Structure 1
Amino acid sequence: MLSNIDINEYKKLKLQNEDLKVKNITINKELQECRGIKWLLSQLIKVFGTLDSFENLMRNTTDVLMGILGVDTCAVWIKKDDKDEYVTYSRSVYNSNRYEVNECRKLPECLLKFKETSLLDINNKSILIAPLEDFRTNNKLGFIVAEHKNKNFFTKTTIDFFNILAIQISIVVINSKLFEKINEITNKDALTNCYNRNYFEKLMLNMNTNQRDYTLAVFDLDNFKKVNDILGHERGDEILVEIGKLAMNIVKRYNGEVIRYGGDEFIIILFKPLNEAIKILENFRKSVPGIELIKKIGINITVTIGVASYSETVTEMKNIFTVADMALIKGKKRGEKNTIHIGYNKYR
């Protein structure tokens, strides 16, 4: 028969055993969570290691965070260069996990006060906020914000993970901005800020022949030599800058591209069928004499344009530039300036 001492000892051991079971469950849960976070970090490091656009990196990052962490909403706020404006890259279960990119005039005041990773419980919701910093200058780059509808959703492990994630994304932001600057130096014309010949040659090498509507125009300036000869090359450069600005302002509405090929020769690329592209090019051609600087110098500067369109006037994409360029040259030889000339592939 058990004594009172034995019974008490048994009860004590039983309680200790139950406590150990709870602790064991908790430790196993934390261990599983740590393994999950470790795996998540490995996936994000793979994402960050790709030479992709920043927007696509954020697309993949938010997708991984939503899928693995199981949050309801995830948003990355990134500050624009030298501006108090932000771009947000986000997903939410409330819009079917659709990836969205939005420009915001102003950062919400509530975010500005956070200097380190912080956990908030508001209206029974869990909100985790981590600031992003440029470690070289200690300037704010933006924030990561994750939300879940349940209170106390985020654990210490998740918060520690967010600290690491904030560092990783900050590095990605810094590197992305540096890459964009290098890319701009490599692919942009220093004078006009249009794309340059180097960019165009790479574009032609990677041309998508499945592109259904693709129109390329080559244009140069009529009477431009007079500007250089009479007013000097500095004034000539100013004219080229204004022409480039006008072309970019007009074609950017249609997601087109402007390239300075060399001298006063430019290329316009429009992902439009020929008839639509002609209307856009006509708008540009007619707008050139209205440039204030051109009116001021008193020299009749106009543009002559050669156009080719794949596959309406050109059967092979590789010939599109040559056909458009020859249309321009032949048009000018006939004395038909300030006009649009459509080029056709002679093998059509």
Structure 2
Amino acid sequence: MEEKPKNVQTLEERIFRELFRVTDKCHSSMDTNLVLAEIIDTLKKVFPENDYYLFLSDDEEVDEELPVKSLEFDTAHHLAITAYVNSTIEIELADYPSIYAPLQGKQGVYGVLQVTSPLQSVFEDLQIDFIRLLAKTAGNAIENAKLYQQSQKLIGNLRLINEIAQALNTISSYKEALHYLHRQITQIFQISEVGYVILMDKRPIVLLESTPFFKGRIGKRLVHFIFEQIGSNEESLFMGKTENLPDKLESSVGSMMAVYFHNQSWKGFVILIGEEPYTFTFENFRLFQTLVQRSSLSITNVFLREKLEQMVMTDQLTQLFSRGYLDGMIKTSMQNDREGTFILIDLDDFKKVNDTYGHLVGDKVLIQVAKVIQSNLRTTDTAARWGGEELAVYLPGISLENGLVVAERLRKHIPEKTNPQVTISCGIANWGTDQPGDVSDLFRRADTALYEAKNSGKNQIKISS
């Protein structure tokens, strides 16, 4: 019997050596492209005369140099589809035979490997087994790489959402928080149209922070369509392609995501619009769901905190500032301004209004007076409810003479704008370079002037000495 030279390998030895090598290399890589390239290179080493192709779905991002064909049900070879769907080796017994082997992992099939012989012969069992094992090795390696990439992306997404939630928790203004969320959403999903909708009295209300599309006729129709779809069952909606939308909506919207949110204060949904079909992936949708749920809670907290702060510094009846807030504003002004004028206002004979018309009417009169005062002030001025029927105005940087003009304007306009009609008496005090700033002294002098105005016949203004 003739002895085989030691340096010559049989096909079977070469096959198993390459199979061992490629298995070790593929499972040490988390890059899908490297795995696929290694499979093709291995086939070229073992069967250099054959042709090789990879059937992959279009959403796979692969190296352009790899021999890839599209795995589409209407265009791919029928045996490739059979191998993919049934997870079985399929052999085409034509003049030039082909093998279609599924790239199968434990959780699914990720493509199909096609090997075609240039010879008019059949594949041997050894070759078929090698191709089957090689495809299975590739499937497991691709699956591992995908799971690793997905886990890394998930970790990145969770980190991003936590960062956004933490940033929202540091923002004190509801509008600023919503603007921050808007910037994050448009940056993450690369879209231009975002709709913020809350449900009030079982009706969808589009918030002002939404983009212009949702304020137009088509946008409003889309909001009502989404509300009809998800408003009652409180679910979210994902449309990679909007073929199920009514005609006029379908022509304006390529793809869409709408995520419902529900917390202790609000119900509603956030809508993202893509101009082209398949702008969003299902992975985008899951990220968007998590982002909206976490952010809606944070923004609600900001809104409630802002409302609470407003309640503390605002009189609930007149919506003027509280006396404590006024004190703080005057102290700040005395540190930063050169002068300021304080006006203490009392509604004349207000007890008669309450006794004659009732306290509800008296409250309406107070509200009317407050509106007149607010409409006659600058944004830098502060109007407050001092207590009972007494109100106060502080004018930072305003001289006593100009303060008297403001007081006289109020004294004139308030009887014209109240029903039943009331008049006011005012006491004015000023601080400046000739009268150093002291809050208690400013209040005392204005109160003394007001007392003088009331005792002098009411409906008049007195200036502190």
Aligned partner of 1:196 in structure 2 is: 322
Task: Indicate conservation of the 8 Å contact 1:132/1:166, yes or no.
Answer: yes
Residues 217 and 209 of structure 1: is their aligned pair in 2 closer, same or farther, counting only changes over 3 Å?
same
2:261 to 122, 132, 136: 132
Aligned partner of 2:223 in structure 1 is: 108
Aligned partner of 1:101 in structure 2 is: none
Residues 1:267 and 2:392 are matched in the alignment: yes
Task: Indicate conservation of the 8 Å contact 2:195/2:271, yes or no.
Answer: yes
Task: Indicate conservation of the 8 Å contact 1:331/1:341, yes or no.
Answer: yes
Partner secondary structure for residue 207 of structure 2: strand
Residues 292 and 197 of structure 1: is their aligned pair in 2 closer, same or farther, counting only changes over 3 Å?
closer
Aligned partner of 1:288 in structure 2 is: 414
Amino acid at match of 2:260: P
Partner secondary structure for residue 419 of structure 2: helix
Partner secondary structure for residue 11 of structure 1: helix
Partner secondary structure for residue 345 of structure 2: strand
Aligned partner of 2:425 in structure 1 is: 303
| Counterparts of residues 74-93 of structure 1 (less than 5 Å) | 74-79=194-199, 85-90=205-210
Q: Which moved more, 1:268-277 or 1:124-133?
A: 268-277
1:115-144 CA-to-partner distances (Å, cap 9, x unmatched) read 3121123457332111222458xxx62221
Aligned partner of 1:326 in structure 2 is: 445
| Counterparts of residues 202-241 of structure 1 (less than 5 Å) | 202-204=328-330, 217-221=342-346, 223-224=348-349, 227-228=350-351, 232=355, 238-239=361-362, 241=364
Task: Indicate conservation of the 8 Å contact 1:192/1:244, yes or no.
Answer: yes
Task: Indicate conservation of the 8 Å contact 1:126/1:153, yes or no.
Answer: yes
Distance 1:64 1:341 in 2: 56
Gaps of 5+ in 2: 1-9, 12-122, 214-218, 243-250
Q: Which moved more, 1:230-239 or 1:282-291?
A: 230-239
Amino acid at match of 1:200: L
Residues 252 and 220 of structure 1: is their aligned pair in 2 closer, same or farther, counting only changes over 3 Å?
closer
Amino acid at match of 1:218: I
Identity, in percent, stands at: 15
Residues 1:52 and 2:172 are matched in the alignment: yes
Gaps of 5+ in 1: 95-103
Amino acid at match of 2:424: T
Distance 1:80 1:176 in 2: 19
Task: Indicate conservation of the 8 Å contact 1:216/1:321, yes or no.
Answer: no
1:162 to 279, 288, 301: 288
TM-score normalised to structure 1 length: 0.67
Aligned partner of 1:251 in structure 2 is: 374
Partner secondary structure for residue 58 of structure 1: helix
| Greater radius of gyration (CA) | 2
Structure possessing the higher relative contact order (Cα contacts under 8 Å, 6 or more residues apart): 1
TM-score normalised to structure 2 length: 0.53
Partner secondary structure for residue 261 of structure 1: strand
Residues 213 and 284 of structure 1: is their aligned pair in 2 closer, same or farther, counting only changes over 3 Å?
farther
